[in-house]
């Protein structure tokens, strides 16, 4: 392998045959002090996320805020229309007939909460992102089929071309690949 600095290199990627190996590798890499690393799996594996230190998510808060805005917005719209902008006296019933406003308020709450869930999830994940260096790794296409990958990035302060490579090889992977930027 030609000696070079990290220029042009995004990280080192190890391929695993099964999720158990990946979970073990994730734990070891974290224990070794690596922080800029990510795992890629064909389906969600809670243990991997935990091993890599992904606890909690901002998403529930985002959805809660979205829902509250939806409720206030929906009720506010109906109140403003029915009481202020376009009051209609129907048989002497109160203008602010809030009971009749519940269904629409409910729907706008759900709508805004759902939109925040989806857009929030995409935003937190930095999607859409058509290009990402990990796609350069050979065999990475299998991450969406049946293979499990762990990538340690050069951006990690502990990254060292030789040291990291020997560490990764010690994890018993099916293969180790350089990931070009």
Partner 1 sequence: MSVDDRALPVKPQIIAPGHTSATVSDHIGEIVFRKTPRWWYFGFAVSLALVMLLLMALTKLIVNGTGIWGLNNPVGWGFAIINFVWWIGIGHAGTLISAILLLLRQEWRTSINRFAEAMTLFAVACAGLYPLIHVGRPWLAYWLLPYPNTMGMWPQFRSPLVWDVFAVSTYASVSLLFWYVGLIPDLATLRDRSRSMLKQKIYGILAMGWRGSAAHWHNYETAYLLLAGLATPLVISVHTVVSFDFAVGQIPGWHATIFPPYFVAGAIFAGFAMVLTLTIPLRAIFKLQDFITTRHIENMCKVMLATGLIVAYGYLIEIFMAWYSGHWYEKFMILNRITGPYKYHWWALILCNILAVQALWFRKVRASAIGAFIVAMFVNVGMWLERFVIVVTSLHRDFLPSSWGMYSGTFWDWATFIGSIGLFLALLFLFLRFLPMISIFEMRTILPKTEEKG
Residues that bind partner 1 (CB under 8 A): 17-20, 23, 26, 38-45, 47-49, 52, 54, 57, 59-60, 63, 77-78, 81-82, 85-86, 88, 90, 93, 97, 100-101, 103-104, 106-108, 110-111, 113-115, 117-118, 120-122, 124-125, 127-132, 134-135, 140-147, 174
Write phi, then psi, for 20 (nearest 5 degrees). -60, -45
The nearer residue to partner 1, 93 or 169, going by C-beta atoms, is: 93
The nearer residue to partner 1, 9 or 77, going by C-beta atoms, is: 77
Tell me the closest approach of the beta carbon of residue 147 to partner 1, in angstroms. Answer: 7
The nearer residue to partner 1, 33 or 126, going by C-beta atoms, is: 126
Tell me the closest approach of the beta carbon of residue 124 to partner 1, in angstroms. Answer: 5
Tell me the closest approach of the beta carbon of residue 24 to partner 1, in angstroms. Answer: 8
The nearer residue to partner 1, 97 or 166, going by C-beta atoms, is: 97
The nearer residue to partner 1, 79 or 161, going by C-beta atoms, is: 79
Q: DSSP letter string over the chain?
A: -----STTEEEEEEEESSHHHHHHHHHHHHHTT--SEEEE-SS--HHHHHHTT----SHHHHHHHHHHHHHHHHHHHHHIIIIIIS---STT--S--GGGGHHHHHHHHHHHHHHHHHHHHHHHTT---S--GGGGSTTGGGGGTT-EEEEEETTSTT--HHHHHHHHHTT--SEEEEEE-
Query: What's the distance, CA 72 to chain centroid?
Result: 28
Tell me the closest approach of the beta carbon of residue 105 to partner 1, in angstroms. Answer: 9
Tell me the closest approach of the beta carbon of residue 166 to partner 1, in angstroms. Answer: 23
């Amino acid at each position: 392998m030609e000696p070079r600095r990290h220029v042009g290199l995004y990280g080192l990627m190890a391929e695993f045959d099964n999720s158990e190996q990946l979970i073990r590798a994730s734990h070891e890499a974290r224990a070794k002090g690596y922080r800029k690393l990510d795992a890629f799996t064909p389906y969600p594996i809670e243990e991997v996320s935990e091993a890599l230190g992904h606890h909690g998510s901002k998403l529930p808060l985002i959805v809660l805020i979205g829902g509250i805005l939806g409720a206030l917005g929906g009720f506010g719209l109906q109140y403003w229309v029915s009481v202020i902008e376009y009051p209609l006296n129907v048989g002497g019933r109160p203008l602010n007939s809030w009971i009749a406003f519940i269904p629409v308020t409910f729907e706008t709450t759900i709508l805004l909460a759902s939109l925040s869930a989806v857009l929030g999830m995409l935003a937190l994940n930095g999607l859409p992102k058509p290009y990402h260096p990990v796609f350069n790794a050979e065999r990475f296409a299998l991450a969406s089929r049946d293979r499990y990958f762990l990538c340690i990035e050069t951006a990690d302060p502990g990254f060292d071309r030789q040291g990291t490579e020997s560490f990764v090889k010690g994890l018993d992977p099916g293969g180790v690949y350089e990931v070009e930027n």
